[in-house]
A and B are shown apart, each in its own frame.
Chain A
Amino acid sequence: SQTIHQWPATLVQPVGSPLSLECTVEGTSNPNLYWYRQAAGRGLQLLFYSVGIGQISSEVPQNLSASRPQDRQFILSSKKLLLSDSGFYLCAWSAGWDRATYEQYFGPGTRLTVT
């Protein structure tokens, strides 16, 4: 069966520090991968998605970046965090390129607090 992992579960970082969040998927090949951010009490905002190794699409301009060095690994990074980067970050995968047709499977999330 497929599983998706995210770490760390929680993170407290000072403003201006770098960020690296990792997501890995097991049990499937060539998944589509997504990074979402969820502000407190709000819906999800799609940040990045990837349909293959080295292929990253950005949905919103920001100081975050994403990379996919391996088929089942997706990394969210920042060189310098802002206070507004605080939130709940969710990684997800789906089997099809059309993410509105194939359901998405979410990881447990990372709670990031920028102080």
Chain B
Amino acid sequence: SQQGEEDPQALSIQEGENATMNCSYKTSINNLQWYRQNSGRGLVHLILIRSNEREKHSGRLRVTLDTSKKSSSLLITASRAADTASYFCATDATSNNDMRFGAGTRLTVKP
């Protein structure tokens, strides 16, 4: 079963705008990861944030984690058409150390 749930399911923005995607989960976690998937391709790891971290940056990516709300957000700043892809969060559960992927957010960046 899925642990992480992304929101929104789909997001369409103009190039240059910021894109924010959210992930909510149900059980306590050790860490949370964000992955990107271009259509019909494998997943690419973007960033990992540990449960004791609140924010992490990587280039134009900013990830936040709020363990009290059991949620995370992925912000892509100054979006580009090449950012068009599906974005997944993956969480583990401290109870069984198992990693689960959400259904993903489909991001479309219009040039």
Contact = CB atoms under 8 A, between A and B. Distances in A.
- Answer yes or no: do A and B interact: yes
Contacts of A107: 42
Contacts of A88: 40
Contacts of A2: none
Interface in A14-55: 36, 41-46
A104 B45 contact: yes
Given A88-B40, A108-B42, A103 B88 contact: no
Contact of A103 (B29, B33, B98): B33
A45 B31 CA distance: 19
A105 interface: yes
A43 B104 contact: yes
Chain A interface residue count: which class?
A: 20 to 34
Contacts, number: 58
Contacts of A104: 43, 45
A44 B88 contact: yes
A7 interface: no
B99 A100 contact: yes
Interface of A: 36, 41-46, 88, 90, 92, 98-101, 103-109, 111
23 contacts: A41-B103, A42-B103, A43-B88, A43-B104, A44-B101, A46-B99, A90-B43, A92-B42, A92-B43, A99-B92, A100-B90, A100-B92, A100-B97, A100-B98, A101-B30, A104-B45, A105-B45, A106-B42, A106-B43, A107-B42, A108-B41, A109-B40, A109-B41
